[in-house]
A and B are shown apart, each in its own frame.
Chain A
Amino acid sequence: MKLTLRVWRQSGPRDKGGMVEYKLDDISPDASFLEMLDVLNEKLIADGGEPVAFDHDCREGICGMCSLVINGTPHGPERNTTTCQLHMRKFRDGEVIDVEPWRAKAFPVVKDLVVDRSAFDRIIQSGGYITAPTGTAPEAHAAPVPKPDADAAFEAAECIGCGACVAACPNGSAALFLGAKITHLGLMPQGQPERWDRAVSMLDTHDGEGFGGCTNTGECTVACPKGIGLDVIGRLNGDYLKASAGGKKK
């Protein structure tokens, strides 16, 4: 395949950055999007240029490390797919493709297509866990979990923390990410004792990190490579409200 790429190049956080055009003419339709960028980078190196920096690790759609806004859409045009699982056969021969980093106030650009998503870790630090010190756990069968709850918890827990929801949201909100964790833990009996504090402190951290508020535009769920639904945001809001109204807030 022949392609024209317009790639965001930015040498560092203080650089202004801009789009640079590259031509590729021998791309296999079986290559993944990242493999296509590998080919571009090999070419840049051979021509004495600087390869494009981008984040990736598992290349299996599960680690959440890859990002990239492709033709204006986080993770590109295919639904429920990460960039590393997007294959070139989904593009047309001769297509012009724009490649940009995640854009959000809370995700500053580090270099080229690489952004800093550590705010997500800080949200989890503020309550996204169940307190269960090692070695003191009861026998696993002591507390049965109804299958529908376990399945729903699992589906929310599938969030890979990639940040596409934030990049897609006009407000730069991380409500989908947050809602997914609240839902995962809140659906399990083990997660009940800390449920209310968790909602409050995680949402406080979220706001403090510079993520915007949720106005239910739904772009997040469309961009989510794991198909996490808007219902998790409903649950987040519900838990937060109950926690505040019921005086359960710390």
Chain B
Amino acid sequence: MNDELYDIGDPVVDGKVPAGPIEDRWTTRKFEAKQINPANKRKKKIIIIGTGLAGGSAGATLGEAGYHVQQFCFQDSPRRAHSIAAQGGINAAKNYRNDGDSVYRLFYETVKGGDFRSRESNVYRLADISRNIIDQCVAQGVPFAREYGGLLDNRSFGGTQVSRTFYARGQTGQQLLLGAYQALMRQVEMGNVELFPRHEMLDLIMEDGRARGVVVRNLINGEVKNYTADAVVLASGGYGNVYFLSTNAMGSNVTASWRAHRHGALFANPCYTQIHPTCIPVSGDHQSKLTLMSESLRNDGRVWVPKKGGDDRRPADIPEDERDYYLERIYPSFGNLVPRDIASRAAKNVCDEGRGVGPGGLGVYLDFADAIGRLGRDKVEAKYGNLFEMYERITGENPYDTPMRIYPAVHYTMGGLWVDYDLESTVPGLFVIGEANFSDHGANRLGASALMQGLADGYFVLPATINDYIARNALPPVADTAIAEAEERVNGRIDKLLSIDGDRSVDSFHRELGHIMWEYCGMERTEEGLRKALELIPALREEFWTRVKVTGKGEELNQQLEKAGRVADFLELGELMVIDALHRSESCGGHFRAESQDDEGEAKRDDDAFGYVAAWGWQGEGARPVLRKETLNFEYVKPTQRSYK
């Protein structure tokens, strides 16, 4: 046991999932939720942090419902939230292909894909709502791909055998976000939403144990200000940037969630990180981020490496029978379309065997020669043209002539703040939506399901549950002392960061942390490595607080200061991720513990010991975290070993 690392607390009782058949639970919940009459809504204030798919859709919908919404993001425009980068598509159980799809099948596959570590009721609701999302987006003018008959086109994604993914070339996230952004802008024009771009939330205002507002820094002039409200919504995205190199946008960070965690919001399953198999490999020390090549490429691209180790011939010179199409070989029924965790680990394995290609041997080929032969270059270009162009720009190689080189990279975080069925955290009045919460994906996330969750949460779920909280709670104006305390925390931290004046840049700490995380808490984790990380991270954190150099002043646009605050939080989160990974001595989804594998090297889950969500509580600086478990019950999808063979 790891008793020295954490305490065990009371179990978390899953709140607010209504009883009854799974198909009826959401209807029941909506019916039981207390309503607020429109005239009163105008007097109620909601703060939303984030303008991605989750925050943007929530802001548009809550503004339209009549609430007074104040919405913040750190970019210069809400349209630039990280969601804009999503490429491949969004799932919905429309069954437009008549291939046997249904809400139940999407639900089933998502629970299975999550390796039985997600909550059934939430996933069912997500699958059900998925159909409304497409209707909503089409009505807003999102230009999804269409067929000649004018109807919507679909494609398929890793981990599924039906075609249920709606897409807009390789820019689905962009188009969905623009839809939400435009709807949000309309509410701004109507005066229902007040928008604060280039503002960063740095702390929560807490009163009587409730979230009552936020303290933000205006990133243009450095002014620190408070905003109070009846409820606060975090839609602040994921924390993959703890690894420094990831596919996330440069600004993505954990600060909003982490500040809430320190006020009592449980952080669930922090170690569940999705490693995406199809990214462009690292090219050198200057590297600042990794670029994803959409998973949809695996519909037509074939993945292979040379059969022999150390074979450095050009790919075209390696004959067919000296190539190992290892995904097709090991997983004949899913082939190149196995889920991400499986494809990533398989790539790592062949590279570990010395069969990787490209610089450093950290790469595998994604080859379109067959597809170009079968469909013609034009068709391939129509389907993937912009992705091919992007690849060429970054690597200087032309993927029409030579196979792409890909390698896994950190992409998405399934962990996040714990929320109940209403999407409310363990801090009353604090709601968490989109990638920032932990709720729907379990230990793994199938392709095209994050966009679905962000929009389901923002357009449909939160707007139906937040009413209930506001209607049931008398929320008097916030006392000045609560506000002053929060502002003091923020100013104190800024002053401290600026006063250290050490000799190491913020980035150098971030890179070093990222390195530790990738090495010991990356694609494969061992007890030994994780323990090593637990020595390295606290030491690095200590060094940060004595040696970091933050240039400039607080009262100005200061990008070093912004980064420093975020890295400081990553240094605390990193340790919790490692503790979580260490305590979970099973393998599941994105969490592969080398000690827990079957004879064929596949992940071995241990449902009896670990069939729960690990929700961690903060017990103070320097104190051990407390582990609180939410037991997962599977009434509909019986846990089986996941097999894609």
Contact = CB atoms under 8 A, between A and B. Distances in A.
Contact of B556 (A42, A45, A111, A138): A111
A35 to B, nearest CB: 5
Interface string B515-559: 000000000000000000000000000000000010110001101
B2 interface: no
B373 interface: no
Given A125-B188, A137-B136, A30 B283 contact: yes
Contacts of A31: 284, 286
* Residue in A59, A114, A140 whose Cβ sees the most chain B Cβ within 10 Å: A140
Interface residues of A, number: 80
B383 interface: no
B188 A58 contact: no
B182 A45 contact: no
A91 interface: no
B556 A141 contact: no
B250 A56 contact: yes
Interface in B60-87: 60-61, 64, 75-82, 84-85
A212 interface: no
Interface string B128-168: 00001011111111011111111110000000000000001
Given A63-B75, A89-B396, A137-B138, A150 B171 contact: no
Nearest to B152: A140
Contacts of A184: 141, 143
Given A85-B393, A87-B394, A35 B178 contact: no
Interface stretch (B97-105, B287-295, B429-437, B567-575): B287-295
A126 B144 contact: no
B186 interface: yes
B148 A57 contact: no
B168 A50 contact: no
B346 interface: no
B460 interface: yes
Nearest to A112: B557
Contacts of B291: 59-60
Contacts, number: 222
B185 A35 contact: no
Contacts of A65: 75-76, 80
Contacts of B183: 129, 132, 134
Nearest to A34: B288
Given A60-B291, A121-B185, A144 B149 contact: yes
Interface string A48-85: 01110101111111111100000000000010110001
A185 interface: yes
B171 A87 contact: no
B136 A132 contact: yes
A39 interface: yes
A35 B186 contact: no
* Residue in A36, A116, A128, A135 whose Cβ sees the most chain B Cβ within 10 Å: A135
Nearest to A59: B289
Contacts of B150: 144-147, 150
Contacts of B228: none
Contact of B286 (A35, A147, A157): A35
Given A30-B284, A157-B143, A190-B140, 10 more contacts: A28-B283, A45-B560, A55-B76, A57-B249, A80-B389, A111-B556, A130-B140, A130-B141, A138-B135, A141-B152
12 contacts: A28-B286, A50-B552, A57-B80, A110-B220, A118-B77, A130-B141, A132-B141, A140-B137, A143-B138, A146-B146, A147-B146, A157-B178
In order of increasing CB-CB distance, the 10 nearest A-B pairs are A144-B150, A129-B182, A137-B139, A132-B139, A154-B143, A137-B135, A125-B189, A150-B146, A140-B138, A31-B286
Interface of A: 11-12, 27-28, 30-32, 34-36, 38-39, 42, 45-46, 49-51, 53, 55-65, 78, 80-81, 85-87, 89, 110-111, 114, 116-118, 120-121, 124-126, 128-141, 143-147, 150-151, 153-154, 157-158, 160-161, 184-185, 188, 190-191
